[in-house]
Amino acid sequence: MSYWDPQSVELQELAALPPSDPRRREFEASLAMASPSEKLYWTGLLRETDRLYAELSRVPTPPGLEDRLLAIARTDRRPLRDRLVNLAFDWRYLVGGLVTAAIVAGACFWFAEPSGPVPLPDSFAEQIADQAVHEHEQPPPLQVAGSDLQTVQAALNRGQVPFPVVVLQPAGKLALQGGGACDLDGTPAAYTRWTGNGQTYTLYQFDGRKIGIPARFYRRLEVPRSLWHDTHHYSVVIWPGDGGQCTWALVLESERAKDMFSRAVY
């Protein structure tokens, strides 16, 4: 397991620290040594932490609350119940406590494995879309050429990538050209290339969990306008595989190109 593994409890605790904490700043500086995909995951988590602290800062802290609580922790060894009885009630303390509880709940929600689909974070969607388009524009030679789905699928499953490859059947008339393996956002990916109606389509399959992508997320359409040129107005459709076992990304070249893959799955 990599030091930067998304499941590292130690790193999750560092990422949950406030921006001003020296340990947090040291952690951010050390991200320069992480791989692009690992850096993408942790910077996204840091942004979410900053958002939670920003929400907390919107509620004014009662004057002296922090000093009083620290003083209690340092000097009072009585049971917590007895200390709370003697703490004068103030609605501002109640609000502060509720907001703190909300922050903790939010952090638990972030770190916990969600039971249902969640929105795909912008950082993941943007990075995947950019790299998918770059691979599409500078495609490697087909490692497996052919128009038969089963033949191409069997060839891609012969040690090309470390996960089961599935060649999806499009919902419309597209011609399969073949496929191969490549690197997408720092993780192995299988791709298939299709043509139809004067358009070229590239469909990527990869294990998004290896780079921190949720197992279940809502289908996402990302439009990397900075990569548009001439008649190529790219968009990238990203969706989870059946049971969250993989992630799919489809490159469309223009507004005329139709998504015939994710709709076939859904």
**pLDDT, position 91:** 44
Which strand (E) or helix (H) includes residue 45?
helix 36-57
Digit-by-digit pLDDT tens for the chain (266 residues) are 457 676 677 888 888 888 888 898 888 888 888 777 677 778 878 888 888 887 777 776 667 766 676 665 556 555 554 554 554 444 455 555 555 555 555 555 544 444 578 888 888 999 999 999 999 999 878 999 999 999 999 999 998 899 999 999 998 899 999 999 999 888 999 999 999 999 999 999 999 988 889 888 989 999 999 999 999 999 999 999 987 889 999 999 998 999 999 876 65
**pLDDT, position 96:** 56
Distance CA 208, CA 191 (A): 14
**Could you tell me which residues come within 8 angstroms of residue 62 by beta carbon, excluding any fewer than 6 positions away?**
90, 92, 93, 96
Which residues share a beta bridge with 176?
Answer: 194
CB 59 within 8 A of CB 52: no
Alpha-carbon distances of 261 from 137, 170, 217, rounded to whole Å: 20, 5, 17
Q: What are phi and psi of 172, to 5 degrees?
A: -135, -170
Distance CA 253, CA 258 (A): 9
Q: Please choose, from the candidates 248, 249, 246, 222, the residue with its C-alpha nearest in 3D space to the C-alpha of residue 235.
A: 222
**pLDDT, position 141:** 85
pTM of the predicted structure, to 2 decimals:
0.60
Q: Under DSSP, is residue 147 helix (H, G, I), strand (E, B) or coil?
A: coil
Ranges of beta strands (E only) in 169-246 are 175-184, 187-196, 199-206, 220-222, 235-240
Domain boundaries, the chain: 9-111, 122-265
